[in-house]
């Protein structure tokens, strides 16, 4: 597939409920995170007293923000009606009272029955705070998240800047208003005559088994006529699945997504496929499935509530969330069963509800369905998640989300963590961009919710059973964060116009996601004793999945994508043709005298096929009844398997592209032969005796030929010759010019001669039938077609059916009339005129004609020739020259034109070199040139902090002039881009799209455009998020011992240290925003006052943090956990500055080189590179500061006493078993003569004499 895809991608987000940014407005809702104290726990997990303290603190902050809005209301513009609220509040401040707003919080507390306090009171020396209750649209509560509280604030760009820099505000993110771009359903269908051939009663009769066979108490398969005709074995399914009971839904609708979930994909294509859906009879009963989507219309037969029965369940719209407004539908009968979050018909929401728990089209038919209808934006999604947190039941709730956002949102990320930690299971879609979006949150390719790597992520496969596995749907995203795949094309209820029976079809990972949610619900209902959480359910799904049976066609980078298809527990295969499931003398199988249709008759009278894994039940020694079916022995099964392998040994091949074309063709013919295909199908679907024998003996060549090798062979045989197939088809269709159309021939006969002389089609047709090519075609059609190499190759693989391209009637008509028309052409057309006109045509296209490449043609020349060839004007010449040069086409049959002599050969050659099969180096050049265009620095320039305003203005002038919105749409005019595949430039395409947008905001913000200034600030926010751990501007009152340790680890982190050294190199957009006064940011760097605080604390010898931080920032020392012998060479430069009160400055510079060999016992792994700053105080008010850089693999335990009335004690985890005596003498240049003696009491004995003007010497 070539470049069409990217153009489509610009306008279509294929079949997934994805969203696009709505038009920007100046003022908008922002999600603001407020942190009271870093030590706070989640609001819902603390006592009511702590909650009241947090309530009061958040309320105070909301008052502060409200005051900011009041003081800066002019920044909102004149016509913003939301600000009218400011005029409705009257304050009556008394001398001894302070009035504040009490922002009413409608959110219930999760662990207390009381509602949030309606009044706070605070007394201090006779003063009192009076609270005025308000339900504000400008400032209101959202919900607690993690250890902070999120509020919704209506802000202008200017007030957003102020709020971002408020104390205790940890983020201020715009709630992205999104416009849904859901594609219309694929097709609309009215209700079929029936959905099932069995028990298809009226759906409204409250009978859950209206189209199911519910096999309660069916342990003996019942001895009635109906069950004697069943082709599946309920008891066997129970044993296989361990379900408490089995229900069966017979399905006649297509696409049939359900039947794939309860059988192996390796079905026998030569038999009637079983389209039943088998599922546990508990069917999700007692489990709540919450869906966050458009909404739900539940007036359809698919949404049976089974009212009045023991299986009665809930199917409701629980709430409608629009921005921050949560409307609970409990008392609204109409909205409770028919709701929409965006005021349109919610077919997407109806579809996901059906897939999860619909009676006819859903998986968990007894589960409770709860829809949260939203107008899709981050705010409404966040409120929906919080609603579920408050109302859902942990370990009994599944949340299905089939929407996605192309950006990272911290609040959503943290809220997912809250829900998962509480025991909720969350399932989300992978998305439909045919891309790998498993990237970090800073990437331009981030996509939620899969990017958070927390939920269970679902990809899509084609909804079909073809006998040799599944195929990944072309649109489905992939990558290592996709946990499992499920059917992507589904049938669902469509009730837009009130019908309770109509259906439609839709395709996407949106459809696959609720299917997995439904399977999860059925697993939970079957195991009520297990408290599943998100992680344990992920593992369960993986364990139950069908592995390594998904094909990923045309994708090279899917090796890290888990190859797993969801399965509900049943993998056994049954066929409607095989109605004999019981056997033996005592069976009810009267139709065939108790004999099995296939497989063996076990001791218990059960017909069991090889593909359903009989193990040793088919052995005569285990009671197999040979007179009623196949039976064998262990030894005989091994012998039969060996014979089968020997007979099909030619099929056990591994085809390689290193072989010659002829060898590949030969092997592919063998591979595709009916004999080998049957052999393969029998092996992989366990229909061979080897499926039994391999349990008792290894068959090396047979065992080595696995499903992956089969798929490799299949891909080579199908895909490797794809180019030849295309070229052959093109060659065959080129003979269409030789076929005469009866209607056109009659027109020629009825047209005046003078008109025919100038008739383009007449001249063109005459040129064709007189060509050598057509003359050969008329003589022997098959021979002429197969003379073309690609057709010869394809014919060897599979005989070409020529009648498929040319029907016998047309061929007979042509052969009977072409000579008549040829004679007519000679009589009417003036050859000299055509020759003259031909020369004119050739002159017009002279720049397009290429020479045949040869051994001396360089790669650069080939590339340029390809660019000429693919030029739209020239490509038409090569692709259909007879239409472009009709006069030449005719004249060429009578006169030689050098330029036209080899045109067909040149066309085929360059078509092959440039388009179909370019050499690697040539293809690399195409890709490189296309990428160069896509990342042209004129439009894709990077702003950096060293760029002057003049330089930026100059770049923006070029950008504005040359980089219009159509810049990317024009990329197909670039020759290199016309010759590459989409996947080769997809990342550059998206990068360019993003960068052009960023640069547009940058350039337009220089003109004072508020929207673009806002976007530049958003870019700055993204930059700051990356270095969030490096920002240690936290007030000291928030810092405790744990915080300090964590902060020091971050402070000493190499990336943070690089940031401190030159912050604006890493945050250029923030630099630009600050330089232009778009916002004020306190940058934590080396000039920051708090940097010096952390430098002193984190690098101090007296700090207990050092042992922790040193191991974090280590680079190349070797950790040890057992006694080791280490040879260590250390070079230390030690600089000591001592200042005394006596106005004496002592500067000591020492270069010390030590070689130590020591054996060390240690109990703690330590690898460290330490930079230590030490401050010592003595009674003589001496301050001694030492900066030492030391590389070590040891941590020492030392107790030392210095005689200057100062005692220093250091304890670490390393114990040194060595006695070491060191004598050292130091040389010091100082203004004062000083003598000191230092004595150390430890396992290491050191004597050090320090005096002026001396030389230090070490002995070890």
Q: State the burial class of residue 195 (Cβ atoms within 10 Å of its Cβ: 0-12, 13-18, 19+).
A: buried
Distances (CA, A) of 233 to 236, 460, 570, 783: 5, 30, 12, 57
Q: What's the token pair of residue 186? A: 């694929």
Q: Look up 510 and say whether it is catalytic.
A: yes
Q: What's the token pair of residue 591? A: 């139709």
Q: Are 484 and 542 in contact (CB under 8 A)?
A: yes
Helix/strand number for the chain, H first, E second: 42, 42
- CA 60 distance to own-chain centroid: 41
SS3 string, 337-395, reads: HEEECCCCCCHHHHHHHHHHHCCCCCCCCCCEEEEEEECCEHHHHHHHHHHHHHHCCCC
Q: Are 338 and 315 in contact (CB under 8 A)?
A: no
Cis preceding linkage at 266, omega within 30: no
CA dist 474 and 14 (Å) reads 10
Q: State the burial class of residue 237 (Cβ atoms within 10 Å of its Cβ: 0-12, 13-18, 19+).
A: buried
* DSSP sequence for 910-943: HIIIIIIS--HHHHHHHHHHHHHHHT-TTTSPPP
In the numeric block, the tokens 């509020």 are attached to: 151
CA dist 761 and 885 (Å) reads 12
Cα diameter, the chain: 127
Catalytic residue, candidates 448, 510, 522, 572: 510
Helix (H, G, I), strand (E, B) or coil at 1093: helix
Print burial letters for 416-426: b (CB count within 10 Å at least 16), e (below 16).
bebbbebbbbb
Q: What is the dihedral sign for C-alpha 753, 759, 765, 768?
A: positive
H or E segment to which residue 625 belongs: none
Contacts of residue 808, defined as CB under 8 A and 6 or more positions apart, other chains included, come to: none
Closest by CA position to 1057, among listed 1019, 1124, 1113: 1113
SS3 string, 113-137, reads: CCCCCCCCCCEECCEEEEEEEECCC
Q: Look up 731 and say whether it is catalytic.
A: no
Catalytic residue, candidates 141, 257, 300, 348: 348
Closest by CA position to 869, among listed 840, 909, 927: 909
Kindly state the DSSP code that residue 1144 receives in the 8-state scheme. E
* DSSP sequence for 262-305: GS-S---TTS-----EEEETTTTTT-EEEEEESEEE--STT---
Q: What is the dihedral sign for C-alpha 858, 861, 862, 863?
A: positive
Q: Are 561 and 479 in contact (CB under 8 A)?
A: yes
Catalytic residue, candidates 212, 288, 293, 302: 293
CA dist 1172 and 1190 (Å) reads 8
Q: Are 292 and 399 in contact (CB under 8 A)?
A: yes
CA dist 909 and 897 (Å) reads 20
Closest by CA position to 607, among listed 639, 653, 561, 572: 572
The number of beta carbons lying within 10 Å of the beta carbon of residue 375 is: 22
Q: What is the dihedral sign for C-alpha 307, 310, 311, 312?
A: positive
Q: Look up 79 and say whether it is catalytic.
A: no
Q: What's the token pair of residue 11? A: 């306008």
CA dist 522 and 1052 (Å) reads 50
Catalytic residues: 293, 348, 510
């Amino acid at each position: 597939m070539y470049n069409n895809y990217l153009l489509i991608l610009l306008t279509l987000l294929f079949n997934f409920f994805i969203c696009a940014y709505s038009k920007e407005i100046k003022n908008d809702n922002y999600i603001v995170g407020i942190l009271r104290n870093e030590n706070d726990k989640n609001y819902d997990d603390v006592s009511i007293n702590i909650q009241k303290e947090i309530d009061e603190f958040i309320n105070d902050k909301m008052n502060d923000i409200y005051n900011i809005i009041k003081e800066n209301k002019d920044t909102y513009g004149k016509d913003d009606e939301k600000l009218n609220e400011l005029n409705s509040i009257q304050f009556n401040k008394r001398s001894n009272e302070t009035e504040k707003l009490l922002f009413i919080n409608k959110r219930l507390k999760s662990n207390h029955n009381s509602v949030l306090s309606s009044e706070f009171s605070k007394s201090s020396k006779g003063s009192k705070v009076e609270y005025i209750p308000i339900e504000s649209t400008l400032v209101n509560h959202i919900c607690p998240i993690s250890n902070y509280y999120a509020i919704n604030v209506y802000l202008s760009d200017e007030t957003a800047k102020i709020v971002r820099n408020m104390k205790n505000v940890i983020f201020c993110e715009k709630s992205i208003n999104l416009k849904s771009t859901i594609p219309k359903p694929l097709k609309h269908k009215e209700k079929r005559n029936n959905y099932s051939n069995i028990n298809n009663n009226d759906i409204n009769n409250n009978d859950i088994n209206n189209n199911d066979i519910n096999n309660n108490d069916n342990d003996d398969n019942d001895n009635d006529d109906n069950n004697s005709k069943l082709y599946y074995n309920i008891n066997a399914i129970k044993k296989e699945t361990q379900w408490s009971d089995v229900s069966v839904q017979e399905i006649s609708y297509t696409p049939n997504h359900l039947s794939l979930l309860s059988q192996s994909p390796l079905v026998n294509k030569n038999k009637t496929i079983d389209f039943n859906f088998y599922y546990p009879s508990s069917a999700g009963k007692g489990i709540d499935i919450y869906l966050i989507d458009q909404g739900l219309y539940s007036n359809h037969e698919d949404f049976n509530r089974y009212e009045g029965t023991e299986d009665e369940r809930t199917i409701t719209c629980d709430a409608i969330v629009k921005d921050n407004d949560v409307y609970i539908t409990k008392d609204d009968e109409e909205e409770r069963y028919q709701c929409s979050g965006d005021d349109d018909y919610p077919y997407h929401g109806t579809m996901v509800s059906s897939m999860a728990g619909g009676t006819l089209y859903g998986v968990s038919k007894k589960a409770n369905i709860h829809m949260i209808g939203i107008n899709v934006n981050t705010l409404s999604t966040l409120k929906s998640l919080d609603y579920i947190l408050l109302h859902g039941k942990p370990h009994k709730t599944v949340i299905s989300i089939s929407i996605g956002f192309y950006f990272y949102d911290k609040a959503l990320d943290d809220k997912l963590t809250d829900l998962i930690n509480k025991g909720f299971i969350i399932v989300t879609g992978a998305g439909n961009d045919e891309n790998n979006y498993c990237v970090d949150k800073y990437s331009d390719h981030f996509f939620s919710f899969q990017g958070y790597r927390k939920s269970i992520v679902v990809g899509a496969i084609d909804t079909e059973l073809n006998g040799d596995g599944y195929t990944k749907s072309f649109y489905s995203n992939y990558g290592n964060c996709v946990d499992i795949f499920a059917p992507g094309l589904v049938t669902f209820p469509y009730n837009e116009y009130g019908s309770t029976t109509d259906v439609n079809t839709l395709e996407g990972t949106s459809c696959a996601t609720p299917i997995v949610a439904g399977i999860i619900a059925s697993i939970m209902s079957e195991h009520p004793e297990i408290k599943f959480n998100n992680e344990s359910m992920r593992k369960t799904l993986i364990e139950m999945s069908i592995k390594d049976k998904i094909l990923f066609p045309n994708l090279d980078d899917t090796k890290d994508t888990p190859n797993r298809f969801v399965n509900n527990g049943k993998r056994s295969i049954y066929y409607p043709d095989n109605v004999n499931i019981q056997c033996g003398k005592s069976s009810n199988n009267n139709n065939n005298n108790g004999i099995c249709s296939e497989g063996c008759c076990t001791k218990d009278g059960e017909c069991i096929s090889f593909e359903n894994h009989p193990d040793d039940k088919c052995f005569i020694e285990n009671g197999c009844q040979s007179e009623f079916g196949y039976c064998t022995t262990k030894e005989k099964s091994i012998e039969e398997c060996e014979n089968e392998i020997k007979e099909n040994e030619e099929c056990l091949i591994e085809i390689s592209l290193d072989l010659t074309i002829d060898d590949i063709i030969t092997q592919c013919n063998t591979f595709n032969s009916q004999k080998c295909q049957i052999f393969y199908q029998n092996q992989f679907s366990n229909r061979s005796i080897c499926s039994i024998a391999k349990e008792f003996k290894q068959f090396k060549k047979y065992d080595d030929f696995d499903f992956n090798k089969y798929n490799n062979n299949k891909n080579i045989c199908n895909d490797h010759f794809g180019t030849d197939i295309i070229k052959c088809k093109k060659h065959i269709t080129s003979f269409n010019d030789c076929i005469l159309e009866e209607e056109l021939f009659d027109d020629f006969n009825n047209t005046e001669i003078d008109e025919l002389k100038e008739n383009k089609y007449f001249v063109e047709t005459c040129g064709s039938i007189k060509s050598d090519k057509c003359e050969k075609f008329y003589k022997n059609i098959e021979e002429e077609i197969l003379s073309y190499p690609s057709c010869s190759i394809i014919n060897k693989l599979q005989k070409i059916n020529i009648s498929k391209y040319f029907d016998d009637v047309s061929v007979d008509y042509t052969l009977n009339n072409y000579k008549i028309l040829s004679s007519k052409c000679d009589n009417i057309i003036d050859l000299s005129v055509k020759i003259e006109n031909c020369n004119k045509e050739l002159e017009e296209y002279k720049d397009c004609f290429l020479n045949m490449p040869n051994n001396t043609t360089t790669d650069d020349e080939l590339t340029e020739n390809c660019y000429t060839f693919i030029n739209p004007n020239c490509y038409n010449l090569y692709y259909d020259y007879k239409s472009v040069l009709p006069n030449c086409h005719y004249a060429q049959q009578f006169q030689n034109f050098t330029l036209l002599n080899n045109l067909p050969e040149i066309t085929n050659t360059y078509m092959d070199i440039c388009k179909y099969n370019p050499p690697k180096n040539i293809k690399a050049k195409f890709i490189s040139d296309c990428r160069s265009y896509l990342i042209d620095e004129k439009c894709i320039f990077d702003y950096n902090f060293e760029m002057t305003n003049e330089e930026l203005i100059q770049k923006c002038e070029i950008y504005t002039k040359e980089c219009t919105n159509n810049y990317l749409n024009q990329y197909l005019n670039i020759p290199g881009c016309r010759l590459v595949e989409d996947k080769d430039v997809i990342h550059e395409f998206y990068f360019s799209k993003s960068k052009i947008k960023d640069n547009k905001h940058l350039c337009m913000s220089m003109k004072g455009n508020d929207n673009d200034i806002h976007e530049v600030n958003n870019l700055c926010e993204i930059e700051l998020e990356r270095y969030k751990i490096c920002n240690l501007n936290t007030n000291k009152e928030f810092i405790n011992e744990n915080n300090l340790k964590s902060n020091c680890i971050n402070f000493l982190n190499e990336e943070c240290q690089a940031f401190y050294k030159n912050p604006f190199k890493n945050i250029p957009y923030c630099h630009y925003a600050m330089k232009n006064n778009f916002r004020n940011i306190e940058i934590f760097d080396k000039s920051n006052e708090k940097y010096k605080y952390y430098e002193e604390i984190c690098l101090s010898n007296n700090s207990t943090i050092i042992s922790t931080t040193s191991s974090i920032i280590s680079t190349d020392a070797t950790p040890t956990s057992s006694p080791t012998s280490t040879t260590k060479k250390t070079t230390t430069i030690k600089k000591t500055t001592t200042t005394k009160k006596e106005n004496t400055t002592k500067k000591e510079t020492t270069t010390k080189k030590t070689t130590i060999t020591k054996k060390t016992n240690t109990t703690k792994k330590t690898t460290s590179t330490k930079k230590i700053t030490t401050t010592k105080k003595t009674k003589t008010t001496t301050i001694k500061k030492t900066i030492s850089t030391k590389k070590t693999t040891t941590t020492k335990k030392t107790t030392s006493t210095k005689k200057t009335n100062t005692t220093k004690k250091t304890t670490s985890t390393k114990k040194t078993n060595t006695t070491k005596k060191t004598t050292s003498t130091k040389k010091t240049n100082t203004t004062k003569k000083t003598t000191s003696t230092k004595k150390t009491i430890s396992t290491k004995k050191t004597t050090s004499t320090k005096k002026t003007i001396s030389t230090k010497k070490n002995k070890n």
